Structure 1
Amino acid sequence: MASKLHIDRAARTVLAGGIVAYPTEAVYGLGCLPFEHDAVRRLIALKQRSRRKGFVLIAAELGQLDDIVILPERPLRDEILASWPGPVTWSLPARSRMPDWLTGGRETVAVRVTRHPLASLLCRRAGHALVSTSANLSGRAPLRSVLQVRREFGALVDYVLPGALGDLTRPTVIRDGRTGATLRA
């Protein structure tokens, strides 16, 4: 596991408006503060991805999502809460203040309370949910190691948090929080 110094440095980097690469449940992710428009714009350019795609946000705990999404009523609410912390991402109705650069212009935003120890600790130390997108150029395979991230992005990423990936072999499942339907298996 990464040392406290590594995690603190990664948290300071995102709090200063930077982009970090960090291990997640299946692949290395790229992240920044979601409401830091310059950082998100930089991330979109770095990945060479469409602004219309929107982003997944990860959190260490449900409270970090309070200002971001609206949870549905029961019974779907119970299903969502039972899946967290864990490797299920839910597309939920976005709060009115959510900018298009996060939602891709949709009324929803994809969120997850992560169980990955380093990703969760990074969110805790930063005190915020974070953008979490796979570390890769758009359309290419996600990267799965520090070395791959450094080769692909070099100094374009402000900090790379070393650590082990989780035990998934594919990115997390995404489900619709309004219907329960699977959007990405």
Structure 2
Amino acid sequence: MSYQNPTNINVQIEKAIGILKNGGIIAFPTDTVYCLAARYDSIESLKRIYEIKQRPHSLALPVMVADKEQIGQVVAYLSDMALSFIHKYMPGPITLIMPRGKYVNDIITNGKETVAVRIPEHKMTIDLIEGTGVPLAGTSANISGMPSNISAENVVKQLGNEVDLVIDGGECPIGIVSTIVDVTGEFPVILREGAITRSELEIFYEGIK
């Protein structure tokens, strides 16, 4: 593993992009917590993420995109409900469950017909996605079942040499996991309350479950 301290962020990002393009796995900060990610179309890399995290394959991997336009690469269609949440909360600490697109592999969705999508509000994360040229699939950079990490130091302690590169971009500004909302049904359903609270979502969308 290579551990990069924050002396030159641009150098770190360029190195990370090269690793991602070649099918590697990196850990880096987002707006919420540190993330462990790879190209969404690199099957072997995605298998490694599950191994590194000791994550059950029954748990799907969220997909991160750089902007609202890139969502179209990973979802089949956008409902009016989905669009309302996208316009209100993306980029930001929300993950939306939407119908998966045809290019999303089963390993990401655990064979389900839905995919979890997020646009982090974090410049480094967006630079990595844009530089790689494809969405990234990933999850929090920690052993499954353990608390999420908000610093690179803790990622290194927990994951050791399993990751190809850990970027130290400082502590994550929010420090709380994203809120997950399923927007595939008649009404939106909160699957996990995180940085965006249930009370805020209830004000935004009447009838949310």
Q: TM-score, normalised by structure 2?
A: 0.82
2:179 pairs with 1:173: yes
> Does the CA contact (< 8 Å) of 1:21 and 1:135 recur in 2?
yes
Q: Give the superposition deviation at 1:142.
A: 1.3
2:94 pairs with 1:97: no
Instruction: Please list every run of 5 or more consecutive structure 2 residues that lacks an aligned counterpart in the other structure.
Output: 1-5, 194-209
Q: Which amino acid aligns with 1:131?
A: A
% identity of equivalent residues: 29
> Does the CA contact (< 8 Å) of 1:174 and 1:183 recur in 2?
yes
Look up the match of 1:183. 191
Look up the match of 2:10. 4
1:156 to 149, 162, 173: 162
Deviations 1:85-133 (A, max 9, x none): 1111100000133222100121101001121111111111111211120
> Does the CA contact (< 8 Å) of 2:66 and 2:129 recur in 1?
yes
Look up the match of 1:13. 19
SS at match of 1:147: helix
SS at match of 1:51: coil
Tell me whether 30-39 or 72-81 shows the greater mean CA deviation.
72-81
SS at match of 1:52: coil
Look up the match of 1:67. 73
Q: Which amino acid aligns with 2:110?
A: G
Look up the match of 1:87. 93
- How many residues of Structure 1 are paired with residues of Structure 2 in the alignment? 185
Q: Which amino acid aligns with 1:89?
A: T
Q: Which amino acid aligns with 2:191?
A: L
- Would you identify which runs of 4 or more consecutive aligned residues in structure 1 move more than 3 Å? none
Q: Which amino acid aligns with 1:77?
A: L
Instruction: Please list every run of 5 or more consecutive structure 1 residues that lacks an aligned counterpart in the other structure.
Output: none
**Separation of aligned partners in 2, 1:38 and 1:57:** 16
**Separation of aligned partners in 2, 1:147 and 1:80:** 33
